[in-house]
Chains A and B, each alone.
Chain A
Amino acid sequence: MDKLTKARSELREMDALAAGNSPVHLLYPLSKLAVTVAYIVFVVSYSKYDFSGLMIMVLYPVLMFQASGIPVSLCFYRLRLVLPLVCAVGLVNPILDHTPLIQLGSLVITGGWVSMVTLMMKGTFSLMASFLLIATTPIDSLCAALRKLYAPGILVTLLLLTYRYIGVMLEQVSVMTEAYRLRAPGQKGLHISAWGSFLGQLLLRSMDRAEELYSSMVLRGFRSEFHYAQAPPCRASAVVFAAGCIGLFFLARMVNIPALLGSLIVR
């Protein structure tokens, strides 16, 4: 399977994944969205040296992955391209920050190293939570939740159409690459001389296709606002879940639980 076909099938698999029926899938989309946003905000709010305090936050994505039946390994596999970029953000910190922070015998760990690890953890946790949300909530329900939060209709529609358009574009790229390869045997990738025309053709074809799709939508009464699939009813459990999670995040943010547990054991 070539890279493009793989990308297309992965995109479609996300839709299939989101259509599951685990307890996490069945949660009210708006509460999942609210919890995810709150989680990211709390994770990002940790200070750059609060490595130990941040550790406890890994529990939310790990437990939710368990409850949803989605393997954590799948998350790391799907995020294989983004994760290194997120982790790379903190790489310069050890060079810039030489403040001694921890001493382990003769080994001095500087603030740069700690902040690098903290930044990597923040990025990884946030991505895990975002992936969890997307993998357990169909895009339509997610958009409906955004509308319930009064996100502008035009932006939400744009998000939905962009999501759909990625598939259309990947399909076009796949067809064109296949046609190119069949007439360029033994060539690795696309020759630089063909890049211009390839991109031009891709743009024109994608525009044609997008226009057809849009016509099909307009002819069926679409007027810039989607009527999203009906979300499961908002039950008390959804409110309890959201309030409980946000409360626990707040507690974890205020009290350094790993340090507290550590001090209990050491004492």
Chain B
Amino acid sequence: MIEFQNVSFSYDTQNPVVEGLSFTIRKGEAVGLIGANGAGKSTIMKLLLGLLSGQGEILVDDLPVNRQNLPAIRRKIGYVLQDSDNQMFMPTVYEDMTFGPRNYGLSQEETDQRVDKILEKLGIEKLKHCYNHKISGGEKRMAAIATILAMEPEAVLMDEPSTALDPVNRRTVINTIRSLPQTKLIASHDLDMILDTCQRVILLSHGKIVADGEAEVILRDKALLESNRMELPFCLQGPR
């Protein structure tokens, strides 16, 4: 579904943020994007969504990511931002959830049905008419995911979905991610969450792919992780 062919991007000529990236993500696959700070995880997502443009070719369902195809591509891909406050700009959860579907031409009735369906699926019906500034961080993250799911995207990109959440909210978000049937690309430093939600992992370092394979294999490779400024997931570290 998603294909990167020799993609590079840099803000200046000397320091490429990502360099020569090539990988493919199949439909329905859940892929974790891991790497130290500045490895290029968020940049990959922004390139895929056409928020940044670099060299090489990126294809989404065989459509090249270019100006002409952006509306179609953005309709297929939902992006959950790292900071939910930046995502939720309307006064209430309901208004935020209707924003995307209404922009894509759905009628008010269809949109309302869709909103109710998603809220019920995520178990957050009580948040429907809540003001965004009055809900907790965990609720806000769930609502941010709901705003994206309301667009019924074919793929979901998530940037650090578990940061700043307490253990219970983190578990709720993980369970929600696991229940999503869409293609998923999740960038995170939370390797336990990646292990819980993804079958495949792409490890980045200085904008290049260092490893690409099964999550169970890469996330158990202590030497590989440590040489790339990461460490084993807590659940695999054993008793201290």
Contacts and interface: CB of A to CB of B under 8 A. Distances in A.
Contact of A15 (B71, B91, B148): B91
Contacts, number: 55
Given A15-B131, A221-B74, A216 B95 contact: no
B89 A216 contact: yes
Interface string A219-261: 1111100010110000000000000000000000000000000
B151 interface: yes
Interface residues of B, number: 26
Nearest to A222: B103
A221 B86 contact: no
Nearest to B148: A220
Main secondary structure of the interface of A (DSSP, over half): helix
Contact of A220 (B86, B95, B151): B151
B133 A229 contact: no
A19 B103 CA distance: 23
Given A15-B131, A140-B95, A230-B108, A223 B86 contact: no
B75 A221 contact: yes
A212 B83 contact: yes
A215 B104 CA distance: 16
Contacts of A12: 131, 133
B12 to A, nearest CB: 18
Interface of A: 12, 15-16, 19, 138, 140, 164, 209, 212-213, 215-223, 227, 229-230
Interface of B: 49, 51, 71, 74-75, 78-79, 81, 83, 86-87, 89, 91, 95, 98-100, 102-104, 108, 131, 133, 147-148, 151
Given A221-B151, A227-B102, A229-B95, 12 more contacts: A16-B131, A140-B95, A209-B86, A218-B51, A219-B79, A220-B74, A220-B99, A220-B103, A221-B74, A221-B75, A221-B100, A227-B99
